[in-house]
Amino acid sequence: MRHKWLAQAALTAIAVSVPMAGVAQAAPLSGSQQKAVAGKAQKAREKAAGNRRYESFDQRAATYVKSLEGIPYVYGGTSTSGFDCSGLTQYVYRHFGKRIQRTAEEQFRQFRRISKARAWGGDLVFFHVSSDPNSYVYHVGVYEGGNDMVAATTYGGGVEWQSFSWAGDTVTFGTITH
């Protein structure tokens, strides 16, 4: 019964909004019918709002860092006037309330090492001087999935999306969220 009424209300609304020559127009919805239709629409909006997908810290970090692409590389930089690699990761994490260490090596020591298969976009990619995962870390970026990250590269390059496949087995992944 309710579905028939809604269908009729929709057809009435269409018929009212599209006049046709020689065809009698349907009467407008009564006040109680308008309230009922408005109530249904409000419930649908509330239900849709309740079903919004939750975004994790990692998802927000992976999205946010992309908005910083194009900012120049500045050695020791920690702001939107210029970043170095660890200054960028520190800035992104701080933006969402997470305080992390300043250098790539310190960040590596602070994060829990995980496999690439367990890494999420928003985790960090650490670059080591050798294939020994305990060797010194000289570079860091924000993981985006696959073999991609966003990082502050070098002078003239700035913050950019890039592949890290060139680093081979000298990268590890770290997280503080999962």
The residue with greater pLDDT, 151 or 36, is 151
- Average pLDDT value over all residues in the chain: 84
Q: Kindly report the backbone phi and psi dihedral angles of residue 51, in degrees, each rounded to the nearest multiple of 5, phi listed first.
A: -95, 5
Q: Could you read off the pLDDT of 71-114 as tens digits, one per residue?
A: 999 999 999 999 999 999 999 999 999 999 999 999 999 999 99
> By percentage, how much of the chain surpasses pLDDT 70?
71
Identify which of 85, 53, 52, 93 has the alpha carbon closest to the alpha carbon of residue 177: 93
* Domain limits, CATH 3.90.1720.10, in the chain: 57-175
pLDDT score of 6 = 43
* pTM, rounded to two decimals: 0.71
The CATH code for residues 57-175 is 3.90.1720.10
Q: Is the pLDDT of residue 42 over 90?
A: no
Mean pLDDT, rounded, for 151-169: 94
Angle between helices 85-95 and 57-66 (to 10 degrees): 130
pLDDT in the model for residue 117: 98
When pLDDT is averaged across residues 5-11 and rounded to a whole number, the result is: 45
